[in-house]
């Protein structure tokens, strides 16, 4: 407990502050604003560090209304560091459009938010996309919705300090499939609103996504990928996948890749012990991209299962960050029209 005289001195000091002249508020930059000279015995001091960036999260931004429902974005926005010269009029960040894995069913947009926030600290705007689940709207609704979200965030980039000329699409599992579908159909304008300008992307990041839906059962898996009520069957409209290979191919990124397309670079990461989406799915996509002369990189995470901690380690995020930064140094890739 503080001595009586110490408490009295503090009380007198507080009373003195209360009686001090009123200082009117006025605008001031960080550099011009004075340091406080108020001190008190026992106070500790530590220099402010700005090694980590603060973030704001904007929830439930409606980007479209389809099938009788509003479709939302959760947006992680970097906070500008005025003390380091960042200003709203001149500071922008690359935009990552992230598609959350959900087996194409209803998504939980918060599932990867903590991990994506860590990545956003590096200087990215991250927009997490809600799309219509397959029981509400089967393929190609998920790709259409993601492209609608990309158009929206590009049109509203300034509100979130985003750079509409530097957009990356990233997804995991079924979201990786959707990200790859977006990247593979930029030139063809499939599943896009052709009344809008063509989407241009800097890069596609596919975390362990399905790529050839009618070949999912050719490797060991703990999941059914064939029956009408399987995730793949539901995506195709509630049908048996092997009995509807034509539909399965139309819903597979592999179907749209060709040598005469201008496509963004692909970064593919997959665990070689994935019990849900076979590792060979990523090998097929990588081989096809290489065959047709497209820039691609495949990283096998040895011993990794389907997602989770191994994919969010600093070593892996450093690879993702470096890949994006190298892609940002080139022109946007996509439709030429």
- Is the model's pLDDT at 51 over the cut of 80? no
Mean pLDDT computed over 199-226: 96
Residue 332 has a pLDDT of: 57
| 17-32 pLDDT tens trace | 556 789 899 998 888 8
Q: Could you tell me the two tokens for 237?
A: 């409209």
Domain of 121 in residue numbering reads as 55-334
Residue 15 within any structural domain of the chain:
no
Q: Are strands 203-207 and 162-172 parallel, antiparallel or unpaired?
A: parallel
Residue 13 within any structural domain of the chain:
no
DSSP string, 253-281: GGGG--TTS----EEEEEETT-SSS-THH
Residue 29 has a pLDDT of: 84
- Is the model's pLDDT at 11 over the cut of 60? no
| 153-163 pLDDT tens trace | 999 999 999 99
Residue 144 within any structural domain of the chain:
yes
Residue 27 within any structural domain of the chain:
no
Residue 7 within any structural domain of the chain:
no
Query: Residue 56 and residue 35: Cα distance in Å, rounded?
Result: 26
Q: Could you tell me the two tokens for 69?
A: 């429902």
Residue 333 has a pLDDT of: 61
| 96-124 pLDDT tens trace | 999 999 999 999 999 999 999 999 999 99
| 252-311 pLDDT tens trace | 999 999 999 899 999 999 999 999 999 999 999 999 999 999 999 999 999 999 999 999
CB 205 within 8 A of CB 168: yes
Query: Residue 149 and residue 135: Cα distance in Å, rounded?
Result: 20
- Is the model's pLDDT at 15 over the cut of 70? no
The CATH number of whichever domain residue 246 belongs to comes to 3.40.50.1820
Residue 3 within any structural domain of the chain:
no
What percentage of the chain exceeds 70 in pLDDT? 92
Residue 6 has a pLDDT of: 46
DSSP strand E in 173-323: where? 200-201, 203-207, 266-271, 296-301
Residue 149 within any structural domain of the chain:
yes
Residue 286 within any structural domain of the chain:
yes
- Is the model's pLDDT at 170 over the cut of 70? yes
Domains identified in the chain, total number? 1
The contacts of residue 250 (CB under 8 Å, 6+ apart) are 139, 140
- Is the model's pLDDT at 49 over the cut of 50? yes
């Amino acid at each position: 407990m503080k001595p009586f005289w110490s408490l009295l001195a503090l009380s007198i000091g507080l009373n003195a502050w209360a009686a001090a002249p009123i200082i009117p508020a006025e605008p001031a930059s960080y550099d011009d604003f004075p340091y406080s000279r108020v001190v008190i015995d026992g106070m500790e001091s530590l220099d402010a560090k700005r090694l980590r960036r603060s973030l704001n999260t904007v929830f439930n931004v409606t980007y479209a209304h389809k099938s009788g429902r509003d479709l939302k974005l959760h947006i992680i926005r970097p906070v500008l560091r005025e003390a380091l010269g960042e200003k709203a009029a001149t500071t922008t960040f690359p935009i990552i459009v992230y598609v959350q894995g959900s087996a194409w069913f209803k998504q939980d947009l918060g599932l990867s938010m903590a991990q994506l926030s860590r990545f956003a600290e590096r200087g990215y705007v991250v927009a997490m996309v809600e799309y219509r689940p397959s029981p509400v709207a089967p393929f190609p609704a998920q790709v259409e919705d993601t492209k609608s979200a990309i158009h929206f965030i590009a049109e509203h980039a300034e509100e979130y300090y985003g750079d509409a000329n530097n957009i990356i699409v990233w997804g995991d599992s079924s979201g990786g499939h959707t990200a790859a579908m977006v990247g593979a159909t930029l030139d063809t304008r499939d599943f896009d609103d052709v009344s809008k300008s063509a989407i241009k992307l800097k890069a596609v990041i596919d975390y362990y996504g399905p790529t050839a839906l009618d070949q999912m059962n050719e490797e060991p898996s703990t999941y059914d990928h064939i029956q009408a009520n399987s995730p793949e069957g539901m995506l195709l409209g509630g049908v048996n996948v092997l009995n509807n290979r034509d539909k399965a191919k139309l819903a597979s990124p592999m179907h749209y890749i060709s040598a005469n397309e201008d496509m963004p670079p692909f970064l593919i990461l997959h665990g070689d012990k994935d019990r849900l989406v076979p590792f060979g799915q990523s090998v097929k996509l990588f081989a096809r991209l290489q065959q047709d002369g497209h820039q691609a990189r495949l990283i096998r995470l040895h011993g990794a299962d389907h997602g989770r901690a191994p994919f969010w380690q600093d070593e892996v995020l450093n690879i993702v960050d470096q890949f994006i930064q190298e892609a940002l140094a080139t022109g946007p890739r996509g439709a030429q029209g």
